[in-house]
Structure 1
Amino acid sequence: MAGEKTIQSVEEYLEVIKANKKRNTDAGNMEDFLFRGQKDDFPLVPKIARLKPKEDLFSTERLLLHEFKRTNFLLIDTQRPLDDWDYLTIGQHFGLPTRLLDWSNNALTALWFAIWEENPERKTCKNAIVWILMPEANDFNLDTDAVHPFDIQETKIFRPRIIKQRINNQSGVFCIQPAAEIEKKIALNDAESFKNKLFKIKIPFEKFQEIRTDLNTLGVNAFTIFPELEGLCSHLQWRYFYTDKNSIAEAKSLIE
């Protein structure tokens, strides 16, 4: 891993990114960074590798894609998918287990995903995580017209077609791993070709509310991330109701 740092504010978060960007630029790497927000410090493993299949993993993977295309045709057809790369992109956004791992070109979007959870009783972790991926040009070298997603031989970065507005709003990008790494459950942060291109940022739980407020000031909130009614309702709840433990305790004292 290229390094890690605990930050206390949006300003410090951006300074860490800026410092890493300068180091990469000075070394001749001009590629854009990618960012992934996580509510906990778990390995960079796609969903399909985190589950236990009832049958052979890769037979199950192919069956999942087949059934996703067959049983939901009328729902999926509105997205106008052209190939299996599109179908996996749609499935990923609706929770289908795939070998895709979500990233964003937008650093603030990733930070929001890391700290969005509103539950004040959350005790699962002390820190949220944002991973910075600092790729090289070859990592994007993927001809989706020539290779099927299940047949790739090395981990690559996949830029999907913008077939859903949410992908555009979240500046969505994916990593996709080959079968050999999926089978061995090799996390991206342990893969030889990527582990030294990753930097981990930790965000303490007690800073979540302050950072969410700052992100909203910068125009990053549930409704800008999820530009649908679900996102709007989540944003309005956050805006007009107490969410952190101290504020809830204060509100209770006013009515007791």
Structure 2
Amino acid sequence: MSNVLHEVENFEDYLRIIKDEISIKRPYYRGQEKRVQDGYTLWPSLARYEYLKKKSPTELTQIEKRTLTTFANHVIGHVNHIPPDEWGMLALAQHHGLPTRFMDWTTNPLVALYFATRNTKKDKDGTLMDSAVYVLIQQPDNYSDLKNQQEKSDLEADDEEDTSQTTDGDPYSQYGIDGESEPDSYDDEDESSDSSVKKKSLNYASSFTPFDITANVIYEPPHVSQRIRTQDVVLLACFNPLTPLEEKDYLEIVIKADAHESIRKRLDLYGVFDKQLFPDLDGMAKWLKFHEFECQNGEDE
């Protein structure tokens, strides 16, 4: 079964598909100037380096952690806010071009359409190539939800331990009265049993990093730059970063090459273009370049 949802011939086609044919609760979009079948594989930037595929998972994780540590050591003095954990630090590294296990997606379908049509690629024969917007249908867990579950689990584990020490049927047992031993003289088996819940929770908390996940996770990064905010960026943390997403995990909306020019003009009209999505001098220059040199003097078709 093909995962191609539709072929878009114009801007209105795209809007109709997004409105009427995407029934996913939390859709995430990714625009690409080339389709997967033309060589733009859906995987993180880390997977572009062939030598990494010869590494074991442990070796790969060591390389990722070492690289992130070096990056983090140089962050101070360059940003106003230091990310509080490895998720935030890795997102910052991704934003500045470091290869990571994160993939850029967006919650805004028009932003994805911009990235799919801003530049029209040509094949080796000079023929204009179709592009694509991909819709993630995998529905991965959200980092915030997992973090809240973790914190709740930690609190419940703490409460369980406190309760077990004071409500065992003997109000004097905690003082070692009536032949009961002191708390620190419990045998090894009882100690292991009483603390197992909390130890498991603490181990999970310490390993809740992008490098220890066992399934893909959606992470909404802090707004370390205006670009992240204006592009409605979300990051897909890939637990197996050297393997492409499976076809069953996404839908493909093909954007025909002949429609790119008219779509670019419509996106510009609706404020989804260079200077809005890249609110800096680079974005302004790209927008001005489009209007003065690429847009046929700005005349609409």
From 149, 168, 187, the equivalent of 2:244 is 187
Structure 1 segments, 4+ long, off by >6 Å, are: 118-122
Tell me if 1:172 matches 2:170.
no
Residue 173 of structure 1, CA deviation: 0.4
Residue 38 of structure 1, CA deviation: 0.6
| In structure 2, distance between residues paired with 1:35 and 1:227 | 21
With the length of structure 2 as denominator, give the TM-score of the two structures: 0.68
Change (3 A) 1:59 1:227: same
Residue of structure 2 equivalent to 1:151: 212
Q: Deviations along 1:129-166, whole A, 9 cap, x unmatched?
A: 10012354x62243287411111111111112222221
Aligned AA (1:220): V
- SS of the aligned residue for 2:211 comes to helix
Alignment of 1:1-256 (within 5 A): 2-21=3-22, 24=23, 31-41=25-35, 42-53=40-51, 56-75=59-78, 77-117=79-119, 123=126, 126-134=129-137, 136=139, 139-140=141-142, 141-143=145-147, 146=205, 147-178=208-239, 181-182=240-241, 185-188=242-245, 190=246, 195-242=247-294
Paired residues in the alignment total 227
Residue 186 of structure 1, CA deviation: 2.1
RMSD: 2.6
- SS of the aligned residue for 1:74 comes to coil
| In structure 1, distance between residues paired with 2:120 and 2:276 | 17
Change (3 A) 1:118 1:202: closer
Change (3 A) 1:97 1:238: same
| In structure 1, distance between residues paired with 2:268 and 2:32 | 19
What's the % identity of the aligned pairs?
29
Larger radius of gyration: 2
| In structure 2, distance between residues paired with 1:8 and 1:151 | 42
Residue 241 of structure 1, CA deviation: 1.0
Residue 242 of structure 1, CA deviation: 2.9
| In structure 2, distance between residues paired with 1:177 and 1:62 | 15
With the length of structure 1 as denominator, give the TM-score of the two structures: 0.79
Change (3 A) 1:78 1:45: same
| In structure 2, distance between residues paired with 1:79 and 1:235 | 30
Change (3 A) 1:89 1:124: farther
| In structure 2, distance between residues paired with 1:37 and 1:233 | 22
| In structure 2, distance between residues paired with 1:79 and 1:111 | 31
Residue 196 of structure 1, CA deviation: 3.2
Contact 1:128/1:202, CA 8 A, preserved across alignment: yes
Could you list the runs of 5+ residues in structure 2 that have no partner in the other structure? Answer: 151-204
Aligned AA (2:69): H
